[in-house]
Structure 1
């Protein structure tokens, strides 16, 4: 508690959020907890030896209670009930990833004098919507359905965490009316939308345009499926996500320009101006958790520099997490938030020990190469348990891919930022467009090549929460082994490894002894699955899309049930009617 008080208090604050999310305490309990917190605050003013000794535990309890209360307040219980066809009036508040047929928008909707947040679907062939207008159209309103089975992604719960309860499907004409009540945030979003449209009008390949939108403006809504898959399979998705590398590169570029203009004695003004610019950029691209975390940590670091105090990475990380969660406790359940903070913790915990194991960095080139290797390995080891838990896939090629791509990332980010700035001001240099397109095409070709190593790519890797915590324990115990590989540290680490495999063997055995028959609803089709031991057979309809069923039904099922062997068969329509009449969901 004496070394990292803020980090420990934030951990208890997060535990309080998880506690409230699990048990959903009602208003009576919340008021009781609030009263206890007030008593704790009052006790701080009393000078008592016993209270002084208990102060650390009292503060931890208080932060735990604050986490419970804030999460209760951030959990919106929307009593609105509306469904079916309605005329809706809405304004968009965000742009989401498109589907094959539709563009998706997050919107504030009014229907039947009821106001609520919803996801609005509009056909891709129609004009894109902006923030400058109110819109009116006929739409079919429905609530997202909860999944049939535990292994499926709960989209309704995901939307609920964003206080979104409805989906609106528009297939009719949309009428627009201008707005003059845009908030400052919406003005930023509108300007970003205009820059995105300017990028669309440049003479570059579609892949180069989408890459530019993603790497600088955090807009991956229109990126093609193949490119997204290449980044995922090569372990380079973080390259597109706005993170610390992007913020540091953009800050460095702006700071470099300022110190060339301002006198040396005004260096602190260059730092302050650069930080203001970074926060304007953060607002411009939408306050994503990773970019807010990076901006907060960078700000904390340079505040320490300006105050001539030694910076503390864990203190900065804890403060960043606390500020983000104070504004929205639901952020803790965001995968990007979790991976972002874990990557930084991994770099703090493992980077220096791994770097010490590598050859001496006695020149600039060696420093760049070995730092890239150590940072990449540290971040990947720390995030690996959660990556396997959420995505059930991993590629060993990602380590090599990061080694080759990351050293050039800052140059690509700065070039992309320059291109975005020029395009934003309608300055168009054709030769720069062609050069950027050429470089990005080479980059995407290399990433596609890395993604093609199928023999080192593993998917449907089963992992549950007990196994995740067991893996985290192994990662924690790696540091003392690397720093001082004695018998004591080695045995501790190996005990954790053995415990993980015993735990995994137990879950494998439990699933192997289960047999079940399930009928899966997928779009307008049904899938019949029969599992026995580690084998599963899937019957799909003759007119169904096999690739989508594999991605959204078969792969999640195999990862959940620890299936080793699968078989897919086409089910004739005549047989389908007989099979699906019988609602058999589980056979022991």
Structure 2
């Protein structure tokens, strides 16, 4: 507590959020916790020796209680009940990833006297929406459904955490009314939308445009599935999404330019102005969660420097997490939030021990190469348990891909930022577009080559929460093993590894001893699965989309049930009716 008070208090705050999310305490218990927290808060002001000794424990109680209380008030419970065809009026609040048929938007929807937040699905034939208009349309309104089975992604819970109540499918002509009440945030969002439209009007290739919009303006809504798959399989998705790397590089660009323009004695003002630019950029691209996290950590870090105090990465990490969760406790359950903070913790915990085993970094080239490798390995080790738990896939090629791509990321990000700046001011320079298009074309080809290495790509990796925690324990103990060898520390790490394998073996044995038959609803079709021990046969309809069924039904099921052998068969339509009507439990 004396060494890292902010980190420990942030952890108790997070524990309070998790406790309330798990047990969903009623209002009467919340008032009791408020009372206990107030008593503990008042007790910290007394100068009694006994209370002084208890002060650190009282602070932990207070932060735990604040986590419970804030999450209670931040949990959205809708009392609106509506379904079917309705006439809705709405304004968009954000743009989401499109699918094959529709564009998707987050929107504030008014239905008679009720106002709620919803997802609006607009056919691509209707054209794009903007922030300058109110819209009115006939739409089919429905509440998101909970998944059928435990292995499926709970989209309804995901939307609830974002305070989204309904999905609305527009099925008629859309009427527009010009708005004259745009907030500052909406004006920034509209300007960003106009820049995106300017990028679309350039003569660059489609994939280059989508890459540029994603890497600088955090808009991946129209990016093709192949490119997304390449970045995922190569372990470079952090490069495409706005992350800490982007914010640091953009901050460095502003800081470099300002230090060249301003005298040395005004260096601290260069830091302040660069931070202001970073936050203006954050506002411009719509307060993306990853950008806010990175901006906060960078701002807190440089506040230490401006106040002439030694920067403390863990203090900056804890304080930025606390600020974010103070405004929105639901951010804790965002995968990006968890992975980004774990990556920073991994770099703090493992980077220097790993780097100490490399040869001496006696020139700038060695520093860049060795630091790139050590930081990449540290971040990937720290995030590996959660990556396996959420995505059930991993590729060893990601280490090599990061080694080759990350050193050039700064150049790509700066080039992309300058391109966006020129396009935003309608400076469409053809020769610059050609150079940028060529660079991105080569980059995407290299990433695709890495992603196509199937020999080192593993999917449907089973992972449950006990295994996740045991893996985290191994990662935690790795530091003591990597540092100068100590037999006692080595034994501890081996015990943790043995615990993990015992947990995995027991889970494998349990799943391989069970059999089940399930009928899966997918879109307008059904899938029948017949599992016996560690083998399963999927029966799919003749006209169904096999690739999507594999992605959204078969792969999640195989990872959850630890399947070792899978077979897929086509189910004739004539047989389908008999199977589902009589629930046949054995098919030869």
Q: TM-score by structure 2 length?
A: 0.99
Matched, 1:409 2:409: yes
Match of 1:437 in 2: 437
Deviation at 1:505, TM superposition (A): 0.2
CA distance, structure 2, for counterparts of residue 510 and residue 165 of structure 1: 38
8 A Cα contact 1:517 1:585, kept in partner:
yes
Match of 1:135 in 2: 135
Deviation at 1:584, TM superposition (A): 7.2
Question: Residue 517 of structure 1 aligns to a residue in which SS?
Answer: strand
CA distance, structure 1, for counterparts of residue 370 and residue 53 of structure 2: 46
CA distance, structure 2, for counterparts of residue 64 and residue 424 of structure 1: 46
Question: Residue 130 of structure 1 aligns to a residue in which SS?
Answer: coil
Considering only aligned residues, what root-mean-square deviation do their CA atoms show, in Å?
1.2
Relative to structure 1, the CA distance from residue 480 to residue 125 in structure 2 (aligned partners, 3 Å threshold; closer, same or farther) is same
8 A Cα contact 1:536 1:566, kept in partner:
yes
Match of 2:32 in 1: 32
CA distance, structure 1, for counterparts of residue 484 and residue 168 of structure 2: 59
Question: Residue 582 of structure 2 aligns to a residue in which SS?
Answer: coil
Q: How does 1:41-56 map to 2 (within 5 A)?
A: 41-56=41-56
Q: How does 1:447-466 map to 2 (within 5 A)?
A: 447-466=447-466
Question: Residue 540 of structure 1 aligns to a residue in which SS?
Answer: strand
Q: How does 1:352-391 map to 2 (within 5 A)?
A: 352-391=352-391
Relative to structure 1, the CA distance from residue 585 to residue 71 in structure 2 (aligned partners, 3 Å threshold; closer, same or farther) is farther
Deviation at 1:125, TM superposition (A): 2.1
Matched, 1:58 2:58: yes
Q: What per-residue deviation string (whole Å, max 9, x for no partner) do you get for residues 512-546 of structure 1?
A: 11100000000110000000111000000011011
Match of 1:144 in 2: 144
Larger mean CA deviation between 292-301 and 388-397 belongs to 292-301
Q: How does 1:462-541 map to 2 (within 5 A)?
A: 462-541=462-541
Aligned residues: 587
Deviation at 1:583, TM superposition (A): 4.7
Q: What per-residue deviation string (whole Å, max 9, x for no partner) do you get for residues 160-184 of structure 1?
A: 0001110000121111111111111
CA distance, structure 1, for counterparts of residue 197 and residue 579 of structure 2: 50
Matched, 1:263 2:283: no
Deviation at 1:387, TM superposition (A): 0.3
8 A Cα contact 2:41 2:59, kept in partner:
no
Deviation at 1:585, TM superposition (A): 8.8
Deviation at 1:449, TM superposition (A): 0.3
Q: Which runs of 5+ in 1 are unaligned?
A: none
Q: What per-residue deviation string (whole Å, max 9, x for no partner) do you get for residues 4-56 of structure 1?
A: 00100000100110110011001111111111111111112211111111111
CA distance, structure 2, for counterparts of residue 430 and residue 548 of structure 1: 39
Q: What per-residue deviation string (whole Å, max 9, x for no partner) do you get for residues 303-329 of structure 1?
A: 111111100000000000000000100
Match of 1:238 in 2: 238
Q: What per-residue deviation string (whole Å, max 9, x for no partner) do you get for residues 248-287 of structure 1?
A: 1101111111111112221111111100000111111122
Match of 1:113 in 2: 113
CA distance, structure 2, for counterparts of residue 83 and residue 281 of structure 1: 39
8 A Cα contact 1:518 1:584, kept in partner:
no
Matched, 1:93 2:90: no
8 A Cα contact 1:518 1:585, kept in partner:
no
CA distance, structure 2, for counterparts of residue 229 and residue 134 of structure 1: 35
Q: How does 1:55-454 map to 2 (within 5 A)?
A: 55-454=55-454
Relative to structure 1, the CA distance from residue 181 to residue 174 in structure 2 (aligned partners, 3 Å threshold; closer, same or farther) is same
**Structure 1 segments (4+ residues) deviating >6 Å:** none
Question: Residue 580 of structure 1 aligns to a residue in which SS?
Answer: helix
CA distance, structure 1, for counterparts of residue 147 and residue 212 of structure 2: 35
Question: Residue 516 of structure 1 aligns to a residue in which SS?
Answer: strand
CA distance, structure 2, for counterparts of residue 571 and residue 535 of structure 1: 18
Deviation at 1:484, TM superposition (A): 2.1
Q: What per-residue deviation string (whole Å, max 9, x for no partner) do you get for residues 461-504 of structure 1?
A: 00000000000000000000001212111111111111100010
8 A Cα contact 1:517 1:584, kept in partner:
no
Question: Residue 188 of structure 1 aligns to a residue in which SS?
Answer: helix
8 A Cα contact 2:41 2:58, kept in partner:
no
CA distance, structure 1, for counterparts of residue 16 and residue 369 of structure 2: 42
CA distance, structure 1, for counterparts of residue 237 and residue 585 of structure 2: 37
Question: Residue 444 of structure 1 aligns to a residue in which SS?
Answer: helix
8 A Cα contact 2:339 2:386, kept in partner:
yes
Deviation at 1:137, TM superposition (A): 0.6
CA distance, structure 2, for counterparts of residue 511 and residue 419 of structure 1: 53
Question: Residue 172 of structure 2 aligns to a residue in which SS?
Answer: coil
Q: What per-residue deviation string (whole Å, max 9, x for no partner) do you get for residues 394-430 of structure 1?
A: 0000000000000000110000000001111111111
CA distance, structure 1, for counterparts of residue 513 and residue 30 of structure 2: 43
Match of 2:572 in 1: 572
CA distance, structure 2, for counterparts of residue 196 and residue 167 of structure 1: 25
Deviation at 1:289, TM superposition (A): 2.3
Q: What per-residue deviation string (whole Å, max 9, x for no partner) do you get for residues 150-206 of structure 1?
A: 000000000000011100001211111111111111111111111111110011000
CA distance, structure 2, for counterparts of residue 584 and residue 539 of structure 1: 12
CA distance, structure 1, for counterparts of residue 283 and residue 293 of structure 2: 13
CA distance, structure 2, for counterparts of residue 186 and residue 555 of structure 1: 40
8 A Cα contact 2:350 2:378, kept in partner:
yes
Question: Residue 581 of structure 2 aligns to a residue in which SS?
Answer: coil
Matched, 1:9 2:9: yes
CA distance, structure 2, for counterparts of residue 110 and residue 198 of structure 1: 31
8 A Cα contact 2:10 2:322, kept in partner:
yes
Question: Residue 371 of structure 1 aligns to a residue in which SS?
Answer: helix
CA distance, structure 1, for counterparts of residue 472 and residue 576 of structure 2: 45
Question: Residue 356 of structure 2 aligns to a residue in which SS?
Answer: helix
8 A Cα contact 1:200 1:209, kept in partner:
yes
